[in-house]
Structure 1
Amino acid sequence: MAKNADIRDTKVLREALALADLVLDSANPIGEIVGPAGSGKTMAGRAIAERHRALRVAAWDGITRHQMLMAVAAGLGIEGAGAAERLLRRGDDAERVLLVVDEANKCGWRVLEALRYLADECAVAVILIGTEMYERQFTAARTRGLLLQLGSRIGPKRVATRHLDRAETYTHVMRPAFGEVADREMVTTFWQGCRKGNFREAVELAGECLRIMKNNGLQSLTPAVLDLACGWMANRHAVEAA
């Protein structure tokens, strides 16, 4: 995924930054960014963290409530024995800070409820970022009732990410990598080669094109280079699907 220096000013990114402002000013300071893999969610989260100097935690498979609380406490400088408990006693009258939780789809309902409590009682504004697997917990029979409070707190404070359209792919990936590309067919081929605007794959496709150009002493993107790079992407998907 793109590093901070590679953050692109996409429509989704602007919506995510506006969401962060809304969450920080809300009486119920918790919101969410949801969308398919590779659609720029992590980039949006990093941009929010950079603008607001926010704490960012990337959840992992099997993360527990205690592990999440300890990660948040450490980020706020609360250390030593009983750090998680001291975080939970922080109080709503403390200075409000912003927490970005990436990979929220890896958080079980107990972890999500702990994050809801931080937003309610501990002056921690929270933005949850996840895929459709995160969203399913709000409708699944086993967890729907357990997350009613969290869902009500989020309400409409939500951004849905999506793949880039052809023009956005050109503006935010192709042109920064290759400069002006006048050939409209090449733009279309590039867009199709990254599965019609998957941001992560567009960045990877641009990187592969640049690698081929460097190896062949080329200064400009050509249809032949793009075809080779698209072939590499297609082969990679075939291997992953096998």
Structure 2
Amino acid sequence: MSHAIADSLTMVGRSIRLGRRNVDTLVMSIVLPLMMMALFVYVFGGAITTGTAYVNYVVPGIVLLCTGYGAASTAVSVADDMNGGMVDRLRSMPVGGFAVLTGHVTASVARNALSTAVVVGAAVAMGFRPSAAPVEWLATAGLLLLYVLALSWLAAGLGSVAKSVESASAFSFLMLFLPYLSSAFVPTHTMPPFLRGVSEHQPITPVIETVRGLLTGTPIGDRGWVAVLWCVGLLAASVAVATALYRRRVND
């Protein structure tokens, strides 16, 4: 057990050091959400009616979009290790696949924490005015942590089976696309019936609505429990699948 923990800590340190050197990935995970937020707030916001200031409505969606960009880069990092020779060198050492993937996931969480803080700070400068108390901020942080872990492990699994860095990037497109089919940018009741059904019954919408409710005081209802169940279920499945796919790829 102690050996596995030591291996995981070593791989975490390696992934964080690599993340510090890969500045372009960090910058893009911050710049793209900021550009999207500015586009929706200043260009589209005046034409969208949400019953509240649009910047307060859209920021939770942008935060989840930001975490999606950060988690998607995990697939690229894992694919780079799988296809660049790093994993081949580890085969001669008693290092488990869980430790390797844990390193990438932990680096993703650290990267997401930094980019989310920057995005929220920029949102406040654009007029975002959250009403959350400290307990609600902690609940928001906890839910976002679950969400980031689930997406990062899913991305790690996709990176394990990708035959190239380019294909890993393509695999992660879905996690970047789903927020657009949710209540992130417009209320779901404004969508066509068939699209509204998809939007209201996919995992991103309850997470966004819960974050929005915690930060701005809008009703949450039972969406909080639904969001937690989605994140926990996806996290458990992603950890199991990612570890299995990594071992299968390494042992081929």
TM-score, normalised to structure 2, is 0.23
Higher strand share: 1
TM-score, normalised to structure 1, is 0.24
Higher relative contact order (CA 8 A, sep 6+): 2
Larger radius of gyration: 1
